[in-house]
Structure 1
Amino acid sequence: MRPCKCKCNVLSALILLVTFLFIASSVHCEDPYRYLTWKVTYGDIYPLGVKQQGILINGQFPGPQIDAVTNDNLIINVYNYLREPFLISWNGLQHRRNSWQDGVYGTNCPIPPGRNLTYAIQVKDQIGSYFYFPSLGMHKAAGAFGGIRIWSRPQIPVPFPSPAGDITILAGDWFKLDHRRLRRLLENGHNLPFPDGLLINGRGWNGNTFTVDQGKTYRFRISNVGLTTSINFRIQGHSLKLVEVEGSHTLQNTYSSLDVHLGQSYSVLVTADQPVKDYYMVVSTRFTRRILTTTSVLHYSYSKTGVSGPVPPGPTLDIASSVYQARTIRWNLTASGPRPNPQGSYHYGLIKPSRTIMLANSAPYINGKQRYAVNGVSYNEPDTPLKLADYFNIPGVFYVGSIPTYPNGGNNAYLQTSVMGANFHELVEIVFQNWEDSVQSWHIDGYSFFVVGYGSGQWTADSRVQYNLRDTVARCTTQVYPRSWTAIYMALDNVGMWNIRSENWGRQYLGQQLYLRVYTPSKSWRDEYPVPKNALLCGRASGRRTRPF
């Protein structure tokens, strides 16, 4: 009988062990939650030495930094203490299966004055550098933007040693006119004026000091949060080693300066390998005849020598050097991504796109006023968010196919609530065609896409021979050079109503945007989450009741 008793004891122990492991895994299976409370208020700011009414978050300009780890759940409760409706959007966060959290008017009702809205965002399978910003009413010209850092999980290797510090740089152009006056200018049919200056982290000339120790390496995350202009970033006497672009680890090329177009974010490593003194950190406008410049100070510990000499000049109107730089930014194919599988389950260059979409920007006058358009259609804001109209089957708000998938070839632009249809799980080729003399910058919410090619003149099918189908980066914002094209591949793996827009905020405000409705007849939570219980309802959706799938 003893052997039987021994076997029974071993079996009981195994059952207890399996039960314990199951309970332990159940306790820890859900990804962590991070809770934030933001109070949005007006406040006095002096970014260019002139008193202005800014928009603050928790009393801060710029707003608080968001730090998260891959797959974290962010619960952000936003209280609106302004006198006008307000929304926050998340430049680069992909909101997997959840366009309800996008924070633009096409998907969300604005937060009324005195009300709040709680965003629930999971940074699913993401790493990298991004930022948030206010999406309504030219609020971006008053502040309420901030940096987002998504760190890799501890078990996922990062392709460079841990830096001695991690520094966020939010740079861009700024206007002394407040956001209301800028908004009136646009609504009266005028373009935005030339900016009054540039800011780095909300301050003008030498307004910030970043302290480093000689011999150590630091990570700088640079985002262009401006309204109208590309910028160039550089540090006097130091090299910039590029390591990440909007969630993609890159080949670690070294640059003396880096072009950052509207809405873009980059990470560079900077080694403090110069003599102990202070150095200029410089941001200047790119592709503008009048050059705006601002500086911060890179201060070596124990330095007793301030910045001196002329501010290092940067590139100005030259397009060729910027195109060359863009083509050298490549994906690091040996680096791990946010998952243990380094590069996902497929390679973009081995799949033939199911269709091609061409989007051409233009600057027409409609009804005697300046507007901006895509494929001859200038986006007209509806009275009800598109996502809500789609969910409740409200007729008359929009119709799919209200914008053509190719430029119409005519000069008769018109106003329309532009919605383009697409099918879940398609791989599409999108060509941004620019016939204007200014650099364009395009962003697609909810997605990363592969920037496969840049070229001059008119895109044709023969242009595909120039594509990089091996190691281009995946990102969420791309530039299009004057009288040129940029081509991207995008896997439509995220159901929802997604904004495609110009990152030039005056152009976006006056119609250079559209929505892509990525559709599946499935009503499974596997494909798309249902409308949140706390969703604000407005327009023709007011008073309706949400329904579960």
Structure 2
Amino acid sequence: MAKPCFFASFLCLLSLLSSSSADDPYRFFTWNVTFGDIWPLGVRQQGILINGQFPGPQIEAVTNDNLIFNVHNSLPEPFLISWNGLLQRKNSWQDGVFGTNCPIPPGGNFTYIMQVKDQIGSYFYFPSLAFHKAAGGFGGIRILSRPLIPVPFDPPAGDFTLLVGDWYKANHTDLKRTLDNGQMLPFPDALLINGRGSNGNTFTLDQGKTYRFRISNVGLTTCINIRFQGHTMKLVEVEGSHTLQNTYSALDVCLGQSYSVLVTTDQPPRDYYIVTSTRFTNPVLTTTSILHYSNSAGKPIDPLPGGPTIEIDWSLNQARSIRWNLTASGPRPNPQGSYHYGLINTSRTIRLANSAAIINGNQRYAVNSVSFTPADTPLKLADYYKIDGVFSLGSIPDNPTFGGMYLQTSVLEANFRDYVEIVFENYEDVVQAWHIDGYAFWVVGMDGGQWSAASRKGYNLRDAVSRCTVQVYPKSWSAVYMALDNVGMWNIRSENWARQYLGQQFYMRVYSPANSWRDEYPIPINALLCGRASGRKTRPLSM
């Protein structure tokens, strides 16, 4: 176990920050992770608390800030935190999934060191091991623009985070046991908003003002829809991209996705419901929070505002309507549209199809027929130390095989600075959501039916939104363009956490032959080592 690094030691701090920019501000966080009793649905459960909080603390940062998280694991089992949407430029060492990091051992600590380089927007963090996500341990992330960078809307009167997701009354250990026994999870028991059930949250707003709500789906299995009774939502940001400011009365948010909307309190002064419900499910789960006018004259009036339930076309059309704001600045002063993604020729097409099957009597899920099995050593460490036998490059094909499913520690080989087309193909009857760590991509197309080369004729090559998580509707496909500009070992996964746990994921190794610190930061001095990497030196090897 690595020795704890206390911030009182200036020399130790300098060594930890060697890969960060010294010109940008630092924000320090000390977190203690524990089990504790939580009661989100009126029954006692074992929850994961961060500094005693469920959900965990909100992270506030500004573009290019250096974030230093000293995480103490007070659980009786290993633990890791991952950062859903933080790009970790040149720094997959901090990604917080088992393919890149050794777990923090019980009673140990690890200091994550990262810079939110050239990022703005709304994201969240979550625990990535042992089905811990079903116990909590998640929280919101806000990255604000630097003061001199124009934002395409007036400063809101307030900024709220809504962490929405499905929830089970069973402890995460029971859910994990179900999956380990080769069975599927039951239907969730309820939805939570910020860790609470119906009417468990009240947001107080002044009449006649505009507020920002950042909505993240932190759930395990279902898309959600959100409505503000009597009010509309103006969409302004999706996972770090300013969008065209379309107005919606109801908004779908699939697993792992984050949206920012503006809500103006222009209605008569009383209380209103904020309503979330599951999408594409039968039955439909619903929960509420209270939008309270500070000069309220009464409680919310029933009935709850209705929303879509199983309509795929409604959701597909809404997803297509979300566009990049080409004139707005991103993290830098130049407009988002100055990068003409649609004029660059792709050098490779990767088609990824999800599937489900029984292997050795157990339920498993796969990508291109390969069901991922974790190795005994994080893949990033095995790659860095050139440890044979942990994984093989090219162990997942570029195209669906439609053959029998098999188990493999699957790693896709890719080259730094390539520009690729990735097509997610869904031949199943359930909605999928896909996330790529370390990257944002342009969602150039989505449609029903089977993808073919002719589908490219309908691509949006001008103002497709850039994001890190995309949904794929039943018997449908979604296509993205992505510049491989981030060297490292990166997780590509289903955001349906049971499917991810049972194999619907793999890793992409983006390789630069230059072996230069310009392309990728060196191994951190405080890196935890485990498996076949145990006992190795953590100081960077010669470059």
TM (normalized to structure 1)?
Answer: 0.94
3-state SS of 2:500 partner: helix
Picking from 226, 233, 240, the partner of 1:233 is 226
Aligned-partner Cα distance in 1 for 2:74–2:307: 41
Q: Which residue of 1 aligns with 2:495?
A: 503
Matched, 1:187 2:208: no
Aligned-partner Cα distance in 1 for 2:411–2:78: 24
3-state SS of 2:122 partner: strand
Aligned-partner Cα distance in 1 for 2:211–2:368: 44
Aligned-partner Cα distance in 1 for 2:481–2:518: 24
Aligned-partner Cα distance in 2 for 1:307–1:526: 56
Aligned CA RMSD, in angstroms, stands at 0.9
Q: Which residue of 2 aligns with 1:436?
A: 428
Q: Which residue of 1 aligns with 2:535?
A: 543
Identity of aligned residues (%): 74
Q: Which residue of 2 aligns with 1:459?
A: 451
Picking from 131, 137, 141, the partner of 2:130 is 137
Q: Which residue of 2 aligns with 1:289?
A: 282
Q: Which residue of 2 aligns with 1:427?
A: 419
Picking from 299, 314, 317, the partner of 1:306 is 299
Structure 1 stretches lacking a partner, 5+ long: 1-27
3-state SS of 1:186 partner: helix
Q: Which residue of 2 aligns with 1:476?
A: 468
Aligned-partner Cα distance in 2 for 1:500–1:176: 29
Alignment of 1:12-161 (within 5 A): 30-161=23-154
Deviation of the 1:29 alpha carbon: 6.5
TM (normalized to structure 2)?
Answer: 0.95
- TM-superposition CA deviations, 1:367-395 (whole Å, max 9, x none): 11100000000001100000000000000
- TM-superposition CA deviations, 1:206-230 (whole Å, max 9, x none): 0000000000000000000000000
Picking from 424, 427, 442, the partner of 1:450 is 442
Q: Which residue of 2 aligns with 1:371?
A: 364
Aligned-partner Cα distance in 1 for 2:299–2:256: 32
Picking from 524, 528, 532, the partner of 2:520 is 528
Q: Which amino acid in 2 is paired with 1:66? A: I
Q: Which residue of 1 aligns with 2:507?
A: 515
Aligned-partner Cα distance in 2 for 1:381–1:208: 39
Picking from 354, 373, 377, the partner of 1:380 is 373
Aligned-partner Cα distance in 2 for 1:442–1:460: 20
Aligned-partner Cα distance in 2 for 1:347–1:527: 23
Aligned-partner Cα distance in 2 for 1:289–1:144: 28
Q: Which residue of 2 aligns with 1:242?
A: 235
Matched, 1:177 2:136: no
* Contact 2:150–2:333 (CA under 8 A) maintained in structure 1: no
Matched, 1:255 2:255: no
- TM-superposition CA deviations, 1:424-456 (whole Å, max 9, x none): 000000000000000000000000000000011
Aligned-partner Cα distance in 2 for 1:301–1:479: 37
Aligned-partner Cα distance in 1 for 2:422–2:296: 51
Q: Which amino acid in 2 is paired with 1:472? A: A
Q: Which amino acid in 2 is paired with 1:209? A: T
Alignment of 1:291-370 (within 5 A): 291-343=284-336, 346-370=339-363
3-state SS of 2:393 partner: coil
3-state SS of 1:262 partner: coil
Aligned-partner Cα distance in 1 for 2:190–2:415: 43
Alignment of 1:197-236 (within 5 A): 197-236=190-229
Aligned-partner Cα distance in 2 for 1:340–1:524: 29
3-state SS of 1:220 partner: strand
Higher alpha-carbon Rg: 1
- TM-superposition CA deviations, 1:199-250 (whole Å, max 9, x none): 0000001000000000000000000000000000111000000000000000
Q: Which residue of 2 aligns with 1:416?
A: 408
3-state SS of 1:371 partner: strand
